[in-house]
Structure 1
Amino acid sequence: MAVRTWATGSMLALALGSPLALAAGKCERLVVTGSPDAPPYSWQDPADPRHLIGANVDLLRQITTAMGISVQVLQAGRREQALEEVRSGRMDLLLDAPLHTDQLTALDYIHPPLQLNEYLIWTRVDAALEVEGVADLAQYKGSVSAKARLSPAFETFAKNGLQLERSQNLTQAFQKLVLGQVDYVLAGRYAGMAMAQGLGVANDVEPRGLPVDRPGLYLAVSHNSACNDPWLRGQLAKKLTELSISGASEAVLQRNVERWKAQMQPVPEAPIQ
């Protein structure tokens, strides 16, 4: 169980039930995790593999700093392992949780979502696809990363109505697109942009039309976290609402797209002496 630091006298203050008491008893530190392979939202820090970096990490730090809470964003393994660490209470919060009803018995999802991940149709620039709506994709062969987290409704639609294969990752999906092995790729707006530029195919592929899916990425607090109380949930919801109104997420996302692209570039070899 993660160690917690509580304000002095908090238990007595909570018993008294005053507003000052509630403020004094708030949790001062959150241990957080998320997906280690979901750039630009979150990914493992190559300079410090124990931690995660990304747009969601930056936004969470912005929110919790305003709340007077420190956060430690740790890499806890693959997506399923990170979820289990939070469900068990060994970690307090998941920073990129897709909303699934079967997790409501273990997690409190904070609304509104931290991000909306807009999935677009990516095609080759010279492709002659006639797509006016998502149903038109049925006649074409597509690919999506096995790590993609589409909404449950779209997953059901894709399973029953689309020729959509799962690639090992987004790199493989885009490679299949460039090679003509598939007609389109479903990928997030920012992840697709960074991938195309990182692979050097930004002039060969392009997104088309409006988003076909917009799953939310939520902050989710474990029911077993010692920090899960009405004050924390209320303050997170308040700050998330303010964030969505401000439009500040866009700049943070763009900055992390550039950050990820820079990390994807090969390190130049040292000249021979």
Structure 2
Amino acid sequence: MSNRRFICAVLLSGLCGLPAGLLAAGKCERLVATGNPQSPPYLWRDPLHPDLLQGASADLLQHLGRELGVEIAVLDSGTWTTAQDEVRNGRMDLLLDTPLTLPQLEQLDYVHPPAWSVDTLVWVRREHALVYNDWSSLRGYKGADVRHAAGTAEFAAFAKDNLTIETLPSLSKALQALALGQHDYVLAPRDAGQLALVRLGLTEQLQALPTAVMSQSLFLGLSHNSACNEPWLRGQLAKKMTELLASGVPATVLQANLARWQAQQAPAVDAPSQ
């Protein structure tokens, strides 16, 4: 059994050992969360504890846990797809940074308000003539995006019928391909894109255009199959999330994790040669 599975099993066995009356009273003492391990500054693998995730979303969740008096472990499930499966089937309780979709409403209770609002921008080479005003501005250009990147259903429908966009496995690969002229633009979130440019040494070659292509809310989701999914917990998560947002905690942890991610990276690699 991997360390990740062992940690999860220990936490869940402890959860299952709690008296039924305690759970029913809304006093669940342990929760297990997961999310996309490749989405800095919100979540990424802890280099010192590879079975755990760190980032702004993990820190925000720990704030919630302390407010509620609930222990929360944020574990790495391996991929975004696996993370969603682990929460849907109840092996983990909470899914971090998930967009609200109709299919997932049948499997998750979404904690309102959303934890984050993420803008997706158009990234181009600095000498490129593309001017972005609306979705139609991208017609006739060759674009790229990233697998599992956040996106709205409305934009996906428009892109399918009107745009040429290649989906690549990582943001680094997409931006490197853009710098080499293999694409005209890349669609990527504002913060993640800027971090990647710094990491790759491409800040002089690439830039983001100012107008957002879309803005998407990302929520904390509680599994319908979680043993801890009780009215008390749902209500308290919503209450405490509202209080944290009003107090400015998300902005503070986001800035701290932007700095943390950059500090953990190796020196920037050379930019791709032209």
**Cα-Cα RMSD:** 2.2
Corresponding residue number in structure 1 for 2:167: 166
Following TM superposition, by how much is the alpha carbon of 1:115 offset from its aligned partner in structure 2, in angstroms?
1.1
Letter in 1 for 2:13: V
2:95 aligned with 1:94? yes
Contact 1:36 1:44 in 2 (8 A): yes
Runs of 4+ in 1 over 4 A off after TM superposition: 4-10
Q: TM-score, normalised by structure 2?
A: 0.87
2:226 aligned with 1:216? no
Corresponding residue number in structure 1 for 2:13: 3
Gapped regions of structure 2 (runs ≥ 5): 1-8, 269-274
Following TM superposition, by how much is the alpha carbon of 1:266 offset from its aligned partner in structure 2, in angstroms?
4.3
- After TM superposition, the structure 1 = structure 2 runs for residues 225-240 of structure 1, keeping only pairs within 5 Å, are 225-240=226-241
Following TM superposition, by how much is the alpha carbon of 1:193 offset from its aligned partner in structure 2, in angstroms?
0.6
Letter in 2 for 1:93: L
Is the alpha carbon distance of 1:10 and 1:166 closer, same or farther for their aligned partners in structure 2, counting shifts above 3 Å?
A: closer
Q: % of aligned pairs identical?
A: 45
Letter in 2 for 1:199: L
- What per-residue deviation string (whole Å, max 9, x for no partner) do you get for residues 85-107 of structure 1? 11111111111222221122221
Contact 1:121 1:187 in 2 (8 A): yes
Which range moves more in the overlay, 188-197 or 177-186? 177-186
Contact 2:132 2:211 in 1 (8 A): no
Contact 2:133 2:211 in 1 (8 A): no
CA distance in 1 between counterparts of 2:19 and 2:176 reads 59
Corresponding residue number in structure 2 for 1:31: 32
Q: TM-score, normalised by structure 1?
A: 0.87
Following TM superposition, by how much is the alpha carbon of 1:4 offset from its aligned partner in structure 2, in angstroms?
4.3
Letter in 1 for 2:231: P
Is the alpha carbon distance of 1:160 and 1:65 closer, same or farther for their aligned partners in structure 2, counting shifts above 3 Å?
A: same
How many equivalent pairs are there? 258
Contact 1:98 1:215 in 2 (8 A): yes
Following TM superposition, by how much is the alpha carbon of 1:131 offset from its aligned partner in structure 2, in angstroms?
2.1
Report the secondary structure of 2:172's partner residue: helix
Contact 1:147 1:169 in 2 (8 A): no
Is the alpha carbon distance of 1:4 and 1:133 closer, same or farther for their aligned partners in structure 2, counting shifts above 3 Å?
A: same
Gapped regions of structure 1 (runs ≥ 5): 15-21, 268-273
